[in-house]
Structures are given as structure tokens and as C-alpha cells.
């Protein structure tokens, strides 16, 4: 009805204005010959006519808008159609499912006396049903599920007396909208009185609401997930030393910067007695939650093991704990050592960590001694025997343990920092400094070498310096 009235109104407006224009044009441009235009004798009336034509077009547009508004008010906002129009208008202001359900109750149920079913056909879960016999009957829900499955096409459809599809709205006792896997049923005995123009509007607005609600829900989930990740990050940081312990004749410092909020890097310092201190730094394969779980497992295994001087037993315990998780592709590389300031030695197991070094003074300046790998990666391949190595320590020696995020950072030419003389020179130059200052020099070098672009791995360092 509204569509037809709108078309008629538009036609009448343009007919009226066309007649006005023709009348004025004839008046302003009287009998004119072609030769008159050649010598521009009739330029003025022609110009006036053109201007008049533009003015009339604008008047026509304004007049049609007024007519259309009047017709919409008299058709779409009166009678039974007004209920669906109000529902559609208010649907634009809904941003959550709760808003949607309240709108259904206030307008469709209370004002329009309709029964409503809203079903997620992807899960066949009823999201909303009006509290009456018509929409709450299990047999009726089963019938609707049988008739209108998940693969039902998009659009608006009219329901007959037995809830099958009918082509004529005057024979319907309700309608349903199929949109994005959701079915919205409205049962109403006076459906035939609804203006047909309201249904495309409702279908379009319902689709927009579903997309809007899904987006907002996703954002809320992301927000909650972010909070959970932040809590996980805080829990992970709690595994790490909150401050370095006071150790006689050993100064300690550490640096920890995860690429994302959680990390697979870890380190710890555990005094054993007044002379012996356990130091450990490692890196779990991969990123994210699984890496963080393995990190926590390793840290807890080391913490609870009673005999912390038993390095082979420590490695085997870590290996078993990771394998028992059955994560398939998860393993760790790690360095674990015991600094003995009485014997001035470090006993260690290097499970495939590439960077542990001792920087020691010599007559020619500082030189670097590598604490070479003597054990395979832990947690994924069989380990038959664990070898323990030992290095002599001297007063002023600096022990540096770092994850591969330090040495493998690249410059614009894709050259890793660990392969450059610059890295070696910076280590030697800074070896005389206190551990905290040494770490600052190395991290400054990492960020400058990376040209302040985004890093691609976690950065973790643990530095111990032997005092005289």
C-alpha cells in the first residue's frame, strides 16, 4: 500500500510541476525561430527558462519529500503496521541481546499482541520464546525445525495456519525472517494488515542488529580475554624472581621483555648455601599460552626439586614433566648452572642454548669463553645421559646468559647481531661495569641495531658477576 501510494504521489508531483514548467516556458519563450538563437536575440528568456527548470526540480524534490513523509505517517505509522514500524525504528538503537529481548517484550508482545520465537539454527538453541502456549509448545518447535532447517534461504516468509509457507500475506497467521543462520518467528493473526513495505525494512534492520550485536559481543570477549591474558602474564611474572637475592661475592641482574603479554622465556636464581647459587635461563619453543604453560612447569619443577645440586636429575625431571603434558611440539632449551664462590667454579648443563658465555679479564683485555652445549633439547627427544661440564671462575668474571631474541635480532640487511663484531666489542667494552649497567648497554644495542622496528622474539638476560 505504502509503496503504491509513494509511486502515485511521486507521479502526481512530477506531472504538476511539468505542467507548470511548460506553461512558464511557453510564456517566457514565445514563437522563436532558429535564426533567433544564432544571433542570440533570445538569450535572456532562454536563460530564465533554464534557471526556472532547475528551481522547479529542487521544488519537486522538496515537495516529494513532504508528500512521502505524509504518506509514511499515514500508512507505515498508523494501524497495525505502526507496531512493526516502531519495532524496526527502535531496533536501530539496540546494541545487545538484552536490549533486543526487552524490545520484543515491550513492543511485539505487549503492544502488538504477538508471540515471538528467536532461534539459532546453527545450534538449534532457542534464544527467546514468548511465555505462551503458541511459542512454547515443544511440538511446534520441532515442526518449525523440521520445516525450516539451517540451510533455509535468507529473506522474509509468511506462515500459514499449519506453519507452512504461503505466498499471500492475507492468508498468513505470522511470518519469519531467516538471517545469517538465525530464524525470527512472529505469530500474529492479523499479519494480513501489515503493509508489505515494512518487511524489507525489518529484514534489513534485523541483519544489521545481528552484525552489530556480534561485533560488540566479540569486542567484549576480546576485552575479557585481554584481562585473562593480563592475569596470566601477571601469574607468569610471579614465577620469575621479583628481585635478585643477596649472594655473597656474586652480583646479579636480569632483563625480561616478552614479545606479547605472555612468554616462553624464563630465568631464576636460587641460593643453595652461602657459597653455591643455582642460575638458570631457558626458552620454550613457540609463543602464547602453551609456551607459558611449559615455562611455568619448568620453573615449578626446578623449585620443588630437593637436591638442586643434582643437575642431571634436574634436567631429567624437566624432560619428564614436559613429555607428560603430551603437547607434541613443545620443548625447551636451557642453561642451568651452579656458581660456587668457594671453589671458584661453575658447574653447568647447557641444553642447546647458544649464547651462555664467560667474559674474563686477560693481559690483553677481556676475552670471551663459551659455555658450549653438552645436552640436547629437553622435552621432545630421548635423553639417555646428561653430561655436566665445569669452568674455572676468576674475580671480575662476568657470566652472561641470554635467550636467542638478543643475538638473533636483525638489522635492515638481515644480518643477526650475534654474527657481528659490534656485538662482541660491546660485550667486552661493558664487561667491567656492574651487571645492571652491562644489561643496559646490551639492550640499548639490541634496539638501536633493530632500528627501533618491531622485535620478533622475547628478550631475556641474566648476568652474574664474580666479586673479589
Q: What is the pLDDT of residues 85-99, one digit of tens each?
A: 899 999 988 888 888
How confident is the model at residue 328, as a pLDDT? 76
Confidence band, pLDDT 50/70/90 cuts, at residue 141: confident
Q: What is the mean pLDDT of the chain?
A: 84
pLDDT, greater one: 138 or 128 = 128
Nearest alpha-carbon partner for 371 in 416, 337, 418: 337
How confident is the model at residue 42, as a pLDDT? 56
Separation between Cα atoms, residue 442 and residue 430, nearest integer Å? 8
How confident is the model at residue 8, as a pLDDT? 63
Task: Report residue 415 as a C-alpha cell.
Answer: 644480518
Confidence band, pLDDT 50/70/90 cuts, at residue 34: very low
Confidence band, pLDDT 50/70/90 cuts, at residue 214: confident
Separation between Cα atoms, residue 132 and residue 9, nearest integer Å? 43
pLDDT more than 70, % of the chain: 81
Separation between Cα atoms, residue 353 and residue 333, nearest integer Å? 6
CB burial of residue 240 (10 Å; 0-12, 13-18, 19+) = middle
Question: Integer distance in angstroms from the first to the last C-alpha of the chain?
Answer: 98
pLDDT digits (tens, 9 = 90+) for 6-23: 566 556 666 766 776 666
Separation between Cα atoms, residue 287 and residue 293, nearest integer Å? 10
Interacting residues of 332 by C-beta distance below 8 A, sequence separation 6+: 264, 282, 283, 284, 285, 294, 298, 318, 322, 351, 377, 378, 379
The answer on pLDDT for 135 being more than 70 is no
pLDDT digits (tens, 9 = 90+) for 218-277: 666 655 666 666 777 777 778 888 889 999 999 999 999 887 777 889 999 999 999 999
Query: Hey, CA dihedral for 406, 411, 417, 423, is it positive or negative?
Result: negative
pLDDT, greater one: 129 or 278 = 278
Residues comprising the chain, all counted: 468
pLDDT digits (tens, 9 = 90+) for 393-447: 999 999 999 998 899 888 888 899 999 999 999 999 999 999 999 999 999 999 8
Separation between Cα atoms, residue 298 and residue 333, nearest integer Å? 11
Question: Whose grid coordinates read 506462515?
Answer: 159
- Asked whether the beta carbons of 49 and 24 are under 8 A apart, the reply is yes
In degrees rounded to 5, what are phi and psi of residue 428? -65, -40
The answer on pLDDT for 50 being more than 70 is no
Nearest alpha-carbon partner for 349 in 297, 407, 390, 292: 390
Separation between Cα atoms, residue 184 and residue 206, nearest integer Å? 9
Strand order in the sheet with 250-257: 250-257, 459-466, 398-402, 357-362, 365-370
Separation between Cα atoms, residue 93 and residue 364, nearest integer Å? 77
- Asked whether the beta carbons of 166 and 158 are under 8 A apart, the reply is yes
- DSSP secondary-structure letter at 192? G
Nearest alpha-carbon partner for 458 in 387, 408, 386, 424: 408
Separation between Cα atoms, residue 445 and residue 142, nearest integer Å? 68
Task: Report residue 409 as a C-alpha cell.
Answer: 635480532
Strand order in the sheet with 345-351: 265-271, 276-284, 332-340, 345-351, 389-392
How confident is the model at residue 229, as a pLDDT? 66
Please count the other Cβ atoms lying within 10 Å of the Cβ belonging to residue 93: 9
Task: Report residue 43 as a C-alpha cell.
Answer: 538569450
Separation between Cα atoms, residue 204 and residue 304, nearest integer Å? 61
pLDDT digits (tens, 9 = 90+) for 145-173: 888 988 899 999 999 888 889 988 778 88
pLDDT digits (tens, 9 = 90+) for 351-402: 999 879 999 999 888 999 999 999 999 999 999 899 999 999 999 999 999 9
Least confident of 54-68, 271-285, 416-430: 54-68
How confident is the model at residue 60, as a pLDDT? 67
Query: What is this structure's pTM?
Result: 0.56
Amino acid at each position: 500500500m505504502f509503496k503504491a501510494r509513494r509511486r502515485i504521489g511521486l507521479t502526481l508531483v512530477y506531472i504538476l510541476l511539468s505542467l507548470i514548467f511548460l506553461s512558464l516556458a511557453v510564456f517566457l519563450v514565445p514563437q522563436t525561430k532558429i535564426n533567433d538563437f544564432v544571433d542570440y536575440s533570445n538569450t535572456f528568456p532562454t536563460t530564465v527558462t533554464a534557471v526556472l527548470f532547475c528551481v522547479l526540480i529542487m521544488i519537486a524534490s522538496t515537495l516529494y519529500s513532504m508528500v512521502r513523509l505524509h504518506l509514511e505517517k499515514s500508512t507505515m505509522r498508523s494501524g497495525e503496521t505502526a507496531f512493526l514500524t516502531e519495532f524496526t525504528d527502535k531496533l536501530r538503537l539496540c546494541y545487545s541481546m538484552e536490549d533486543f529481548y526487552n524490545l520484543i517484550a515491550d513492543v511485539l508482545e505487549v503492544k502488538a499482541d504477538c508471540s515471538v520465537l528467536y532461534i539459532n539454527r546453527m545450534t538449534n538453541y532457542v534464544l527467546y520464546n514468548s511465555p505462551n502456549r503458541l511459542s512454547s509448545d515443544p511440538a511446534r518447535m520441532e515442526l518449525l525445525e523440521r520445516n525450516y532447517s539451517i540451510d533455509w534461504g535468507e529473506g522474509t516468509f509468511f506462515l500459514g495456519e499449519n506453519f507452512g509457507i504461503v505466498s499471500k500475506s492475507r492468508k498468513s497467521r505470522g511470518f519469519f525472517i531467516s538471517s545469517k543462520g538465525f530464524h525470527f518467528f512472529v505469530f500474529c493473526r492479523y499479519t494480513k494488515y501489515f503493509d508489505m513495505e515494512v518487511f524489507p525494512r525489518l529484514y534489513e534492520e534485523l541483519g544489521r542488529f545481528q552484525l552489530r550485536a556480534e561485533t560488540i559481543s566479540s569486542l567484549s570477549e576480546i576485552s575479557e580475554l585481554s584481562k585473562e591474558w593480563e592475569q596470566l602474564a601477571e601469574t607468569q611474572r610471579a614465577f620469575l624472581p621479583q628481585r635478585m637475592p643477596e649472594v655473597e661475592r656474586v652480583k646479579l641482574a636480569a632483563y625480561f621483555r616478552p614479545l606479547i603479554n605472555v612468554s616462553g622465556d624464563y630465568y631464576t636464581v636460587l641460593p643453595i648455601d652461602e657459597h653455591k647459587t643455582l642460575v638458570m635461563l631457558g626458552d620454550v619453543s613457540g609463543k602464547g599460552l602453551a609456551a607459558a604453560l611449559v615455562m611455568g612447569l619448568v620453573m615449578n619443577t626446578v623449585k620443588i626439586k630437593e637436591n638442586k645440586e643434582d643437575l642431571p636429575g634436574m634436567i631429567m625431571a624437566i624432560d619428564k614433566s614436559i613429555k607428560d603434558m603430551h603437547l607434541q611440539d613443545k620443548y625447551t632449551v636451557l642453561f642451568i648452572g651452579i656458581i660456587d664462590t668457594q671453589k671458584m667454579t661453575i658447574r653447568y648443563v647447557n641444553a642447546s642454548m647458544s649464547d651462555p658465555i664467560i667474559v674474563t679479564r686477560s693481559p690483553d683485555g677481556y676475552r670471551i669463553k663459551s659455555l658450549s652445549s653438552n645436552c640436547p633439547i629437553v622435552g621432545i627427544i630421548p635423553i639417555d645421559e646428561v653430561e655436566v661440564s665445569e669452568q674455572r671462575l676468576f674475580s671480575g668474571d662476568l657470566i652472561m646468559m641470554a635467550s636467542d631474541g638478543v643475538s638473533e635480532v636483525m638489522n635492515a640487511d638481515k644480518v643477526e647481531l650475534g654474527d657481528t663484531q659490534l656485538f662482541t666489542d660491546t660485550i667486552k667494552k661493558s664487561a667491567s661495569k656492574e651487571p645492571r649497567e652491562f644489561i643496559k648497554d646490551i639492550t640499548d644495542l639490541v634496539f638501536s641495531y633493530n632500528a627501533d622496528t618491531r622485535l620478533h622474539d622475547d628478550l631475556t638476560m641474566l648476568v652474574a658477576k664474580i666479586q673479589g
